[in-house]
Structure 1
Amino acid sequence: MPKPPEPPSEGLAPAPADAKAALRRRLLAARRRRPLAGLVADAEAIAGHALAWDAVRRAGTVAAYVSVGSEPGTGLLLDALRGAGHRVLLPVVLADRDLDWAEYTGPGSLAPARLGLLEPTGPLLGVDAVLDADVLLVPGLAVSPAGARLGRGGGSYDRVLGRVAGRPTAVLLHDDEVGLDVPTEPHDRPVTHAITPGAVRTLG
């Protein structure tokens, strides 16, 4: 009879995937407790910092996303980017969790989609359309001082970040979600900056 597996030794650090899942649960719970008024104020401050960031000011095309739930809000930012003359690309989640892209032309160009998301309804431009972006603004739950980003676990943005390596990439977060110890796995891709209600922060 095969010998049963040994139980894990006490004191061993959890595997990165398990540690990430535990951190993800804690951060999502904290986000659910944030008051609405604070979320609105944070969205306004993040939009101001993003628009003033040199990488965005110089950009012709910005790849961004539509926030959901208690994520730092992006609705104000998306319209402000268009108002400042930037072309804005938004993601469309494909069946394999990769991201296609379409242009954002205003709130009326968004429609409910899978996974509780809002996605652009314009023509799909292909997964490599993100290469047209001069700067990327991406979602996340936390980031380390070195730029290790904790996402939702689907891997969509790690694929995107791999395609655009070397370009300015900023994760939008609440102030207390920056500088955490984020476990990493081989497929994880770092970001170069974080934008919070307090500032644009350089990472790495």
Structure 2
Amino acid sequence: MSHLEGGPESDKRMLRREFLAMRNRLTTDDLRTAAVALAARALELPELAHARVVAAYVSVGTEPGTLALLDALRARGVRVLLPVLLPDNDLDWGAYAGQDSLSPVRHGGKTALLEPTGERLGPDAVTGADVVLLPGLAVDEHGMRLGRGGGSYDRVLARLADSGARPRLVVLLYDTEVVEHVPGEAHDRPVHAVVTPSGVRRFT
């Protein structure tokens, strides 16, 4: 996908529309197959094999499915932290205790998110993670991630940097979402790796 003319933010908006349109064409079978393959690839990551605490998220809609991965990590004895969206778009965190511990929460007119129902651990809980699994819409060959534009994970990444925490940052995507270029801004931080249904790519 070629670089688009205009400022980074307008470029990002156009790219988001394109990638969301591609996801909306996926069938239920496509989503199920991709989720199984994604979990298998992610579980092969050495970083996850040695992790004690992983900050992750529950996929919604046509996002690459994460529930199988969350359950597999929990079965390994990993402490999995899941986000809780706050009114200012920052993220609090709660521990994952299985799919029965999730509850749909609607924030405004947006799609309902599945959030953990247990104790709130505070926004700084993410700084204790060994690995942070990030949602996104695309990543480029330099590890720059295209998010949805809400800014929640920009805050998470800034919090990690400010605290001195150095978890491995991994984005979960479909194969077609690894592209040549994503428009970047000064506050954007590259990820260390991307996992797709067909494999893993690392960035230096």
TM-score for the superposition, normalised by structure 2: 0.91
CA deviations 1:61-82 (Å, max 9, x no partner) are: 1110000011000111111110
Q: 1:141 corresponds to which residue?
A: 137
Q: Which residue of 34, 42, 53 corresponds with 1:61?
A: 53
Q: Which residue of 133, 158, 162 corresponds with 1:162?
A: 158
Q: 1:87 corresponds to which residue?
A: 79
Q: d(CA) in 2 for partners of 1:82 and 1:167?
A: 18
Q: How far off its partner does 1:21 sit?
A: 0.2
Identify unmatched segments of 5+ residues in structure 2: none
Q: d(CA) in 1 for partners of 2:25 and 2:5?
A: 29
Q: How far off its partner does 1:85 sit?
A: 1.0
Q: d(CA) in 2 for partners of 1:187 and 1:21?
A: 17
Q: 2:165 matched to 1:180? A: no
CA deviations 1:18-52 (Å, max 9, x no partner) are: 00000000000000001221211111111111111
Q: Which moved more, 1:132-141 or 1:179-188?
A: 179-188
Q: 2:69 matched to 1:77? A: yes
Q: How far off its partner does 1:160 sit?
A: 1.0
Q: What is the root-mean-square deviation in Å for CA atoms of aligned residues?
A: 1.3
Identify unmatched segments of 5+ residues in structure 1: 1-11
Q: Which residue of 42, 62, 65 corresponds with 2:34?
A: 42
Q: Which moved more, 1:35-44 or 1:23-32?
A: 35-44
Q: 1:111 corresponds to which residue?
A: 103
Q: d(CA) in 2 for partners of 1:145 and 1:125?
A: 34
TM-score for the superposition, normalised by structure 1: 0.91
Instruction: Tell me if structure 2 keeps the 8 A contact 1:72–1:174.
Output: yes
Structure 1 runs, 4 residues or longer, greater than 4 Å off = none
Instruction: Tell me if structure 2 keeps the 8 A contact 1:142–1:180.
Output: no
Q: Which residue of 6, 11, 14 corresponds with 1:14?
A: 6
CA deviations 1:113-170 (Å, max 9, x no partner) are: 1232111111110111001110011100000111111111011111112233432111
Q: How does 1:183-198 map to 2 (within 5 A)?
A: 183-198=183-198
Instruction: Tell me if structure 2 keeps the 8 A contact 1:62–1:137.
Output: yes
Instruction: Tell me if structure 2 keeps the 8 A contact 1:149–1:190.
Output: yes
* Count of residues in correspondence between the two structures: 193
